[in-house]
Amino acid sequence: MLKIERDILGKNNARAAENRAWLRARGIFALNLVSSPGSGKTSLLVRTLQALGGRVPAAVIEGDQQTEFDAERIRATGAPALQINTGKGCHLDADMVARALPRMALADGSLLLIENVGNLVCPAAFDLGEAHKVAILSVTEGEDKPLKYPDMFAAADLMLLNKVDLLPYLRFDTARAIDYALRVNPRLRVIRSSATSGEGIDEWLAWIDAGLAAAHASARRA
């Protein structure tokens, strides 16, 4: 069993490295958004695309077991979205992304947002070739999620503490949630966000802009 798992992850890592090289050559900045179901990923993406307002070419890969609902919400913003339905699968893998990339007509230097299947377990192990994993933890969940699912918070470079507009109605200990996340990953950057109130969206966009600039510089060097 362990050997099968190693083989699967080894193949995935090789494919992810190809994706990363493909993206790097084109100066495309790719983010892999991971979370539990219902953390507000799609709403946050919609708000992000609206705030970008076409300033940067952006496209989305939507991973869900079934339905095209999320891709349709993204397309309503005017951004192209490709839906991958994983069926019984509970995560995106690098091969799915490799097959999607050439079909998306991505502009050089664009932003690629990959919304993974809502699942805090195996997406942590499957590199897609992204520049960063972004973990979204909403305040409607438990503060202890980073300790319960440490692999995901260790693999992420940024955590969006989402739905903060709901804090007045909840007993969610923000400081404790952040402390738990930093215990698992001391270099994790944390941004408080809300797709409803817009809190944190400017800070999140500034983080994206810095990543885009690095991706563009790295493509010029390649």
Residue written as token pair 């007045």: 168
5-11 long-range contacts, CB within 8 A, separation 24+: 9/125, 9/126
Minimum distance of Mg ion from residue 159's CB (angstroms):
17
The residue within the footprint of Mg ion, chosen from 19, 26, 70, 145 (CB under 5 A), is: 70
Interface positions with Zn ion (CB under 5 A): 90-91, 122
Minimum distance of Mg ion from residue 33's CB (angstroms):
9
Nearer to Mg ion, 72 or 173 (CB): 72
Nearer to Mg ion, 44 or 139 (CB): 44
Minimum distance of Mg ion from residue 115's CB (angstroms):
5
Residue written as token pair 């817009």: 198
The residue within the footprint of Mg ion, chosen from 19, 35, 42, 185 (CB under 5 A), is: 42
Q: Which does 90 bind (CB under 5 to 8 A by kind): Zn ion, Mg ion, none?
A: Zn ion
Nearer to Mg ion, 19 or 36 (CB): 36
Burial 189-213 (b: 16+ CB within 10 A, else e): ebbbbbbeeebbbeebeebbeebbe
211 dihedral zone (left: phi>0; alpha: psi -120 to 50; beta): alpha
Q: Which does 42 bind (CB under 5 to 8 A by kind): Mg ion, Zn ion, none?
A: Mg ion
The CA distance from 41 to 120, in Å, is 13
Nearer to Mg ion, 15 or 41 (CB): 41
| Run of H or E including 35 | strand 29-35
